[in-house]
Amino acid sequence: MVELVGYRSVGGVGTLTLDSPHNRNALSAPLQTQLNAGLRAALADPAVRVVVLTGTGPVFCSGADLAEQRAGNALGPELMIDTLTRLWDSPKPVVCRVNGHARAGGLGLVSACDIAVAPDTATFGFAEVRIGALPAMIAVTCLPRLAPRAALELFLTGENVTAARAAEVGLVNRAVPGDALDDEVARYVDMLRRGGPLALAGIKPMIRRIGELPLERALAEMAELSRRRFRSAEVAEGLAAFADKRDPSWVVD
């Protein structure tokens, strides 16, 4: 089997690398199958505290494998659903190191990650409309990141925009010079490794739950959640470490 997704775990960081530069890391069935297997491995490994998703070559991901589509060899949407769900619901923080240009389904991956950093030379575009298709599935992860008018503009026009514009409208967190990309990713990873694992796992469900509730009920539920957390062993360790002027036990060097 040709390896299309690399995986390594070092220092509490599980890194998944799309490695299919011959077709610009397109989301072929074999690549998605390997990506899902890598995500399962990273999420199941207790030594992994943070997941990093990146790619090789000048393109992070060009979207669907159109050669597969034309040949009628593309599988159903289940693989992409699995990929986006694992990224979106990951209890471990996921950082997208956007190594280059991202198009269409590639933007679904970027948006499904918690934090995304891109080089200022990268461009981003929802190309679906230009072949008569819709960015339907990836809209599920992209729309929560995008300002509504920006979403309409980008979906309707198919225009490729700069990394600076992508950061402005919420597709990525930071656009940095190419030679600063690894340092910026490392900065985020270091900050994330300092958070309590259970606290980190609770952040996304907390944010989503608050968005579902009216103010009074949200305040009541979050007060109870706060009380439970302050009674936890993790907070006890965090408070003890603060008093002792040391790192908590979960911090990985």
Segment holding 42, helix H or strand E = helix 29-44
Per-residue confidence at 67, pLDDT binned at 50, 70, 90?
A: confident
State pLDDT tens for residues 164-202. Answer: 999 999 999 999 999 999 999 999 999 999 999 999 999
Per-residue confidence at 252, pLDDT binned at 50, 70, 90?
A: confident
Active site residues: 128
Six token digits for residue 222: 């979050």
Do the Cβ atoms of 9 and 42 come closer than 8 Å?
yes
Six token digits for residue 26: 């397109």
How many angstroms separate the CA atoms of 164 and 197, rounded? 32
3-state secondary structure 135-180: CHHHHHHHCCCCCHHHHHHHHHHCCCEEHHHHHHHCCCCEEECHHH
State pLDDT tens for residues 193-244. Answer: 999 999 999 999 999 999 999 999 999 999 999 999 999 999 999 999 999 9
Architecture of domain 5-193: Alpha-Beta Complex (3.90)
Do the Cβ atoms of 134 and 128 come closer than 8 Å?
yes
Average pLDDT over residues 76-97: 95
State pLDDT tens for residues 114-161. Answer: 999 999 999 999 999 999 999 999 999 999 999 999 999 999 999 999
How many angstroms separate the CA atoms of 171 and 185, rounded? 16
Do the Cβ atoms of 55 and 100 come closer than 8 Å?
yes
Q: What was the pLDDT predicted at 74?
A: 61
Domain with CATH 3.90.226.10 in the chain: 5-193
Q: What is the largest CA-CA distance in the chain?
A: 63
